[in-house]
Amino acid sequence: MYLGIDIGTQSVKTLLYDLDRATVHATSSEPLPLRSDRDGTREQEASWWIVALEACVARLPGAGRRAVRAVAVSGQQHGLVPLGSEDEVLAPVKLWCDTTTDQQCEEITRAFGGRKHCITSVGNAILPGYTASKIRWLKQHRPAAYDALATVLLPHDYINLWLTGERVMEYGDASGTGLLDIRKREWHSKMLQAVDADRSLADVMPPLVGAESPIGRLRKSVAEQLGLPGNVPVSSGGGDNMMTAIGTGTVVAGRMTASLGTSATLFASAQQAVIDTAGDIAAFCSSTGDWLPLLCTMNCTVATELTRRTLNMSLEEMEAAVAAAPVGAEGVVTVPFFNGERTPDLPRGKGCVLGLDDSNYSSGNLLRSAMESSIYGLRYGLDAFSRNHCSVDSLRLTGGGSSSAVWRQMVADILNLPVTVQTCNEGAALGAALQAAWVDSGDGLVDLLDAQLSVDEPRCCLPSTQRTAAYSEHYDNYRRQAEVVMRLYL
């Protein structure tokens, strides 16, 4: 058995994977609270993750837990876990979806020499989601915590610390801080200086490690507490997108994954760094030794869930209403910037519904428009990948949205790609378990994944030529409407 742990925004999930039978043995999850405010604050306490993790593992079968050979952790990217000299957490964790640091982004970008210089030198622009601006925000708004800062960790790194006692950061997740030179895989000294010219932040950044070796072994006290074998290896783990790439087999060129969750991500595997001069694609490292060019939109199932709850519909009723509404929602256009937005970079953006008249104002059109708009964001991303010479021939779909037949077909039609869904659709937790198996077994990663991951043929779908052509026109209309909204919040 291999244990995968996923520290998400909405919940903690644990997964036991049986490598011999190529199947998930058991899963458990525990919801997480979220501290939010209208100013864009999104925070959690690191202690909440530990409590939820303990509850999750306790619900896994005892025999399965005792058979665990290795552990790996996936975590929501970018969150700042500030630690003191005794590994104490000094402040609430500002999360990836926190948008209060746009001023700090501007200050860092200006100090470094401008947005274009950030992209060409480091690989990424400095965005509110990334960790860099959160460090500067901590200095300005929680100075006592900043003065006591001894180590900067990300959410999955903090769980690794709790499991092993080791303070390290893996290349893939580290590339989402905005502080890593993704070509050289080392901290960028000038970017660290741009965040704070008065202090050597190199002293608080942890050592960087690759994904191919364990970072340490499970501490005896933690093993006893969780009912796991003592001294088992803990691999580096990684960010949730990096682990999802492993869990969907997106580890070779030509494969792409779209994850439909609270946010939506689109990413591919590349053997060299992909630097998008427009800044739409994040130039991340993978957790396999390669690179993971990625586009993230902050509003995916958020748009449909807000609309569904407003209309007081069940999931089944929403699915039926969307299926009955026509392609293009009769001209109703949702611009879904409900949580602000990363792509395009609009941390203060707001959601809008446009194109309404007395003939198309219906629940079905409102719901379908919300769903279509989320996929239009991925279509924009696909165009950005093409612009950067990343060719893709297949798309693997994962995340909560992939369980919907309407979502799956809509993705195929709007992106004009065959959509594949796996038999096991556990995403990041599965990827973590498989990374642990890879590190423990010493097998080649591609061969291991090809042997373990199977496709759910009945749920796969092909694009419809007629609907794809219709969506091309509707997408152009969406882009025109979105650009009007974008000008309001730039």
Q: Indicate which residues carry an active-site annotation.
A: 240
Burial of 487 from C-beta contacts in 10 A (0-12 / 13-18 / 19+): exposed
- The helix (H) or strand (E) run that includes residue 256 is strand 255-260
* Residue 324, φ and ψ in degrees, nearest 5: -80, -25
* Tokens at 53, concatenated: 């993790």
CB atoms within 10 A of CB 18: 15
Tell me, rounded to whole angstroms, the distance of Cα 4 from its chain centroid. 16
Render 153-194 in DSSP notation, one character per residue.
Answer: E-HHHHHHHHHHS---EEHHHHGGGS-EETTTTEE-HHHHHH
What would you report as the CA-atom Rg of the chain, rounded to the nearest whole angstrom? Answer: 22
Residue linked to tokens 């900043």: 146
Instruction: State how far the Cα of 417 lies from the Cα of 396, in Å rounded to an integer.
Output: 10
Burial of 1 from C-beta contacts in 10 A (0-12 / 13-18 / 19+): buried
Pick from 370, 374, 364: nearest CA to 415: 374
Paired with 294 in beta bridges are 267, 282
**Angle formed by the axes of helices 363-387 and 315-324, nearest 10°:** 80
β-bridge pairing 42-44 and 35-36: antiparallel
Paired with 421 in beta bridges are none
Pick from 41, 117, 76, 119: nearest CA to 347: 41
Degrees, nearest 5: CA angle 351-175-153: 90
Residue linked to tokens 């001209």: 331
Render 93-111 in DSSP notation, one character per residue.
Answer: EEPTT--TTHHHHHHHHHH
* Tokens at 30, concatenated: 């525990």
Q: How many helices (H) and strands (E) does the chain have?
A: 18, 24
β-bridge pairing 23-31 and 70-75: unpaired
With H, G, I as helix, E, B as strand and everything else as coil, classify residue 429: helix
Task: Provide the residue count of the chain.
Answer: 490
With H, G, I as helix, E, B as strand and everything else as coil, classify residue 379: helix
Paired with 36 in beta bridges are 42
Pick from 487, 346, 422: nearest CA to 22: 422
